[in-house]
Amino acid sequence: MPVAPGNPHGNPEAAQRQGALPSTPLRREVTLAPAGFPRGDTRHFRPAVGASDVAGPVHSAMMSSQVVVNQGYNSQLPGSYPPLTPAKTLNPGSGHYYSGGSQGPGQTLHRPPVAANPAVPSLHSGPVPRMPAPASQSPAATPRPSGGFLPGASPLPPVTWQHSYPSMGSQVNHYPPAPSQPPVPGSTNLSTNHQYVSSGDPLLQNSYGKSGITSNTNSGSLMAHSNYDEIEGGGFLATPQLATKNPQISRSVGYTYPSLPPGYQNVPPPSSATGMPPSSLNYPSGPQAFPQAPLGANHLTASMGGLSLHPEGLRVVNLLQERKMLPSTPLQPPVPNLHEDIQKLNCNPELFRCTLTSIPQTQALLNKAKLPLGLLLHPFKDLVQLPVVTSSTIVRCRSCRTYINPFVSFLDQRRWKCNLCYRVNDVPEEFMYNPLTRVYGEPHRRPEVQNATIEFMAPSEYMLRPPQPPVYLFVFDVSHNAVETGYLNSVCQSLLDNLDLLPGNTRTKIGFVTFDSTIHFYSLQEGLSQPQMLVISDIDDVFIPMPENLLVNLNESKELVQGLLKTLPQMFTKSLETQSALGPALQAAFKLMAPTGGRISVFQTQLPTLGVGALKPREEPNQRSSAKEIHLTPSTDFYKKLALDCSGQQVAVDLFLLSGQYSDLASLGCISRYSAGSVYYYPSYHHQQNPVQVQKLQKELQRYLTRKIGFEAVMRIRCTKGLSIHTFHGNFFVRSTDLLSLPNVNPDAGYAVQMSVEESLTDTQLVSFQSALLYTSSKGERRIRVHTLCLPVVSTLNEVFLGADVQAISGLLANMAVDRSVTASLSDARDALVNAVIDSLSAYRSSVLSNQQPGLMVPFSLRLFPLFVLALLKQKSFQTGTNARLDERIFAMCQVKNQPLVYLMLTTHPSLYRVDNLSDEGALSISDRTVPQPPILQLSVENLSRDGAFLMDAGSILMLWVGKNCAQNFLSQVLGVQNYASIPPIMTDLPELDTPESARTLAFISWLREQRPFFPVLYILRDESPMKANFLQHMVEDRTESALSYYEFLLHIQQQVNK
Ligand SMILES: [Zn+2]
């Protein structure tokens, strides 16, 4: 870590004196103003470079930005076009980021929140009346323009997007580089390309130095240390006209494919065998000459309507008559109605999904459907197979910066047409060679054109500084409360177990901070015989003593780190300090991490009480069940501001909250949300009293510590011209108009975006969406993960409905409802959810159905829509009438925003299985295991019986309810008990018995657990168990005191629809 010359903190003698605690490691206390330690100089951490006192941080930011701008990015980098809407981009002069997040937790851009519709019935906000709801709730004359969520908002300027993703440890296929550079067999390490310094450009190095400048946390001002927007490339702003106006730009981006590289000068022209016959230049024939030809071609006719739809999909369902619509196997996403040649290349729906798999060709048509248009992404998901391309040239559209993908068209061998902006681009010479087949002259068979999901090794143009090392800082609450929970034992042990598995390389750095009313640092300098503790008691003006010894190289200081982890849990066992200075501790952590970036993992067990960021209890238990006046918004902007500072320095903060008391997660969670971190919550964690939580923490830490991680990432999503992306959901910061800043990215995070149709798509039959995630892997490689999704455009309302993806729609609505809860109110959000169903089904009834039949007629695609929305209303985030703790509700909302769709749906609508009669029929065979696949049951007590045992999979929790008259066979062969009465009151594990029944049950449960990155705990419930209420609460279809049954809900919907 660079230390400024003369930085007094580099002088440990001046900053410490002997402390009082005798425990190991040595404890030293840093006093407020020791003699000879000039306060004015010591209280402020000095950046390594620049930042004079006179200029202040803003000036530094300007300098930094100017360095970026002037150092030749405009003339060297792809995508160095001026921003489309300057007002929304980083303004170097102000030193502030444009903060989309300031408008609310959804980080909504451009679009003001939709006004609440006062006429909307408040169906579920309070004690629920008998159905049907009073007619007066919604005047019949009032159109429902909103559905609460879906305004006919005016289209937005076109925006393009890119993301980058961190790399993964899974198996990858490495394609050798094109022969324009010497092939390095099996090598993926482009270290030379990644050494920015080796570019020999001093300005670049200078830029890196400047990036170490810290910003002023207290003021919340942010600085531009880098401009990833320029690296990643802008959007449609880079039109051909613009490029023409600024020839220097277009010439310099490196995508102009100028002259042949020397090795190619003498390559003979492609033979006619692989080449394109001249007659096909106009591209009418396609497949024979270019197998990919049908893909990007807009000549694909719309005559394929219904091609990939199962006849069942065309059915109209009367939900009041057909009440069992839930499939007995997991619901599959709809398959877009595309030619099979295209669909077979399309992006996996687990990674990239659209709410409407048939895109309405105009906003007017979309408005008519009253369904939300948006994307759900799981961009950094662990993949079994990921093609990785190492090539000197990453081929992108010169206009919009789209990465070449399976859905572009090749006009001939030398030209390809962008599927997002339709610009015709040259095929660079290197791209003519296919490294897979080792054949020249078939660019359309390159892996980039054959894979909708692909990863590129990024050359140095994609770096603003040398790739950062992996840096991990752990911040532990060690107050009396924390010690009482006993969590430190678990966490330190887990760290010891996984220390060698932390993703990284020889550059990995690690550090530890603990805090109660004071802040404790640990010097782990190589050569010390034991760690040294340094105590900072001035929490009002935190500084970092000897920073170079606090974050240390893990390899070099491993023994010290292990020693610290072994002693840490015992060091504070006698502490009586009850105060918690979380805010100052986070400030200290930020200062420590700012020069490099990295990941902060903070463990907190109570409401912070001291220093900046101190919070007051504000939960009123008697209001828990009300939908009004509950505190869903942060009580301070401290955590958000600090998170934005972290984001600016490539630092993400993950929060582990282990608390039985109210801890104001609404405020604390901001530290993770805006820094692209994650929130973990273990209510009532206790090492003895709550063994299930202990197990859960251990399992999840194992995953957390060892999963892949990407650093200093940005993500952008681009879409075909005419579509526009306007609102983002997830944990990140919107750095400029459309660029998501992700200081860390992990494989378990999901994102969602909303879109509108801005220009008519009548001239096109296909549209595409592309996400690009640019990140630094834990091995120090700069990589770009690209996903491209292609969908058909349709012109009729019926087709829009036929292609609706009900899970994606429900997931997007849930995200929107969280925003609405925060910006308006919970009851408003609930109304909007209900109206989303009513409005879309009304539209279907009035505009698609020709004859007005009685009943509640829905398209087959939306047959589960009312059920899923009802499930959302009963989900922890949005439920009313229960005694849900505020922090638990907030956590559920965090999960909605941050979880990939598949887990969100499981949490919302759990899967119920009967497991006392598992058989091998239809079982999966995985390795040498046989995993039974019992049918999924509807969530109603009707499906339970006392002579059975039922497993409910609610995502993060598994509940096995055992009926009173459950067969003796199951009790003895699976539970290992003599009879029903001997089932222990608290049972959280199944014994491993040597019976086929036991093997089947255990195989099924562990298979369920393996499906997800978090660890669902298991509870075995007897009929009289207090947790049975929890089990029944998930019975979404049943009526409760405060919520409608599914049938009642359908009646209500029908009444509203038929108005
Ligand atoms: Zn383009």
How far is ligand 1, taken at its centre, from the CA of residue 396, in Å? 8
Which one-letter amino acid corresponds to residue 681?
A: Y
How far is ligand 1, taken at its centre, from the CA of residue 669, in Å? 38
Min mean pLDDT across 507-511, 616-620, 679-683 is at 616-620
How far is ligand 1, taken at its centre, from the CA of residue 769, in Å? 12
How far is ligand 1, taken at its centre, from the CA of residue 350, in Å? 25
How far is ligand 1, taken at its centre, from the CA of residue 355, in Å? 24
pLDDT tens-digit map of 902-921: 999 999 999 999 999 999 98
Whether residue 454 is predicted with pLDDT greater than 90 in this model: the reply is yes
Q: pLDDT band at residue 666, thresholds of 50, 70 and 90?
A: very high
How far is ligand 1, taken at its centre, from the CA of residue 718, in Å? 10
How far is ligand 1, taken at its centre, from the CA of residue 160, in Å? 10
Q: For every residue of 528-567, which 3-state class applies, written as one string?
A: CCCCEEEEECCCCCCCCCCHHHCCEECCCCHHHHHHHHHH
Is the Cβ–Cβ distance between 297 and 766 less than 8 Å?
no
| Whole-model pTM over 0.85 | no
Provide the pairing of β-strand 532-536 with 519-523: antiparallel
Q: What is the mean pLDDT of residues 698-727?
A: 96
Separation between Cα atoms, residue 830 and residue 879, nearest integer Å:
9
Compare 672 and 262 and report the one with higher pLDDT. 672
Q: pLDDT band at residue 623, thresholds of 50, 70 and 90?
A: low
The percent of residues above 90 in pLDDT, for the chain, comes to 60
How far is ligand 1, taken at its centre, from the CA of residue 282, in Å? 19
Q: What is the mean pLDDT of residues 245-274?
A: 30
Min mean pLDDT across 264-273, 982-991, 1008-1017 is at 264-273
Separation between Cα atoms, residue 937 and residue 912, nearest integer Å:
5
Per the DSSP assignment, residues forming a β-bridge with 733 are 741
pLDDT tens-digit map of 303-313: 344 444 567 77
Evaluate the omega torsion of the peptide bond into residue 25 and state whether it is cis, within 30 degrees of 0.
yes
How far is ligand 1, taken at its centre, from the CA of residue 789, in Å? 15
Q: Which residue has the tokens 């892949």?
A: 708
How far is ligand 1, taken at its centre, from the CA of residue 256, in Å? 14
Q: What is the mean pLDDT of residues 109-122?
A: 33
pLDDT at 622: 65
How far is ligand 1, taken at its centre, from the CA of residue 181, in Å? 26
How far is ligand 1, taken at its centre, from the CA of residue 399, in Å? 5
| Length of the chain measured in residues | 1059
Residues 6+ away with beta carbon under 8 Å from 1: 547, 548, 551, 595, 596
What one-character DSSP code corresponds to residue 73?
A: I
How far is ligand 1, taken at its centre, from the CA of residue 239, in Å? 9
Compare 913 and 213 and report the one with higher pLDDT. 913
Cα angle vertex 543, ends 538, 549, to 5°?
Answer: 125
379-401 core/surface letters (b: 16 or more CB in 10 A; e: else):
bbbebeebbbbbbbbbbbbbbbb
Separation between Cα atoms, residue 96 and residue 88, nearest integer Å:
11
Please give the torsion angle defined by the CA atoms of residues 235, 239, 240 and 245, in that order, rounded to the nearest 10 degrees. -110
How far is ligand 1, taken at its centre, from the CA of residue 630, in Å? 47
Q: pLDDT band at residue 548, thresholds of 50, 70 and 90?
A: confident
How far is ligand 1, taken at its centre, from the CA of residue 421, in Å? 4
pLDDT tens-digit map of 153-181: 333 333 222 322 333 333 444 554 444 33
Separation between Cα atoms, residue 731 and residue 670, nearest integer Å:
9
How far is ligand 1, taken at its centre, from the CA of residue 195, in Å? 30
Is the Cβ–Cβ distance between 760 and 328 less than 8 Å?
no
Whether residue 833 is predicted with pLDDT greater than 90 in this model: the reply is yes
pLDDT tens-digit map of 761-776: 999 999 999 999 999 9
pLDDT at 585: 98
Q: Which of 373, 374, 360 is nearest to 847 (CA)?
A: 360
How far is ligand 1, taken at its centre, from the CA of residue 274, in Å? 26
C-alpha distance across the termini of the chain, in Å: 68
How far is ligand 1, taken at its centre, from the CA of residue 764, in Å? 15
Q: Which helix (H) or strand (E) holds 936?
A: strand 936-937
Whether residue 515 is predicted with pLDDT greater than 50 in this model: the reply is yes
Residues 6+ away with beta carbon under 8 Å from 844: 797, 801, 857, 858, 859, 862
How far is ligand 1, taken at its centre, from the CA of residue 760, in Å? 18
Per the DSSP assignment, residues forming a β-bridge with 729 are 752
For the ranges 260-269, 340-349, 845-854, the one whose mean pLDDT is highest? 340-349
pLDDT tens-digit map of 72-88: 222 222 332 233 232 32
Per the DSSP assignment, residues forming a β-bridge with 782 are 776
Q: Which residues surround ligand 1, an ion (CB under 5 A)?
A: 397, 399-400, 402, 418, 420-421, 423
Separation between Cα atoms, residue 8 and residue 42, nearest integer Å:
6
Residues 6+ away with beta carbon under 8 Å from 121: 133, 134, 137, 138, 831, 834, 1056
How far is ligand 1, taken at its centre, from the CA of residue 538, in Å? 55
How far is ligand 1, taken at its centre, from the CA of residue 720, in Å? 8
How far is ligand 1, taken at its centre, from the CA of residue 235, in Å? 8
How far is ligand 1, taken at its centre, from the CA of residue 423, in Å? 5
The percent of residues above 70 in pLDDT, for the chain, comes to 70
pLDDT at 256: 24
Alpha helices, DSSP H, located in 69-127: 74-76
Q: What is the mean pLDDT of residues 106-119?
A: 33
Whether residue 33 is predicted with pLDDT greater than 60 in this model: the reply is no
Min mean pLDDT across 2-6, 157-161, 337-341, 586-590 is at 157-161
Q: Which helix (H) or strand (E) holds 764?
A: none
How far is ligand 1, taken at its centre, from the CA of residue 1054, in Å? 45
Min mean pLDDT across 168-182, 257-271, 725-739 is at 257-271
How far is ligand 1, taken at its centre, from the CA of residue 405, in Å? 11
Residues 6+ away with beta carbon under 8 Å from 693: 658, 682, 683, 684, 685, 686, 1017
How far is ligand 1, taken at its centre, from the CA of residue 78, in Å? 13
> From start to end of 329-450, where are the E strands?
352-354, 359-360, 374-377, 386-389, 409-412, 415-417, 424-426, 433-434, 439-440
Q: What is the mean pLDDT of residues 1-10?
A: 37
pLDDT tens-digit map of 926-978: 888 899 999 999 999 999 999 999 999 999 999 999 999 999 999 999 999 99
Cα angle vertex 402, ends 397, 407, to 5°?
Answer: 95
How far is ligand 1, taken at its centre, from the CA of residue 765, in Å? 17
pLDDT tens-digit map of 313-368: 789 999 999 988 999 999 999 999 999 999 999 999 999 999 999 999 999 999 99
pLDDT at 1042: 84
How far is ligand 1, taken at its centre, from the CA of residue 559, in Å? 53
Q: pLDDT band at residue 251, thresholds of 50, 70 and 90?
A: very low
How far is ligand 1, taken at its centre, from the CA of residue 398, in Å? 6
Q: What is the mean pLDDT of residues 687-706?
A: 94
How far is ligand 1, taken at its centre, from the CA of residue 420, in Å? 5
How far is ligand 1, taken at its centre, from the CA of residue 285, in Å? 23
| Residue 77 CA to its chain's centroid (Å) | 28
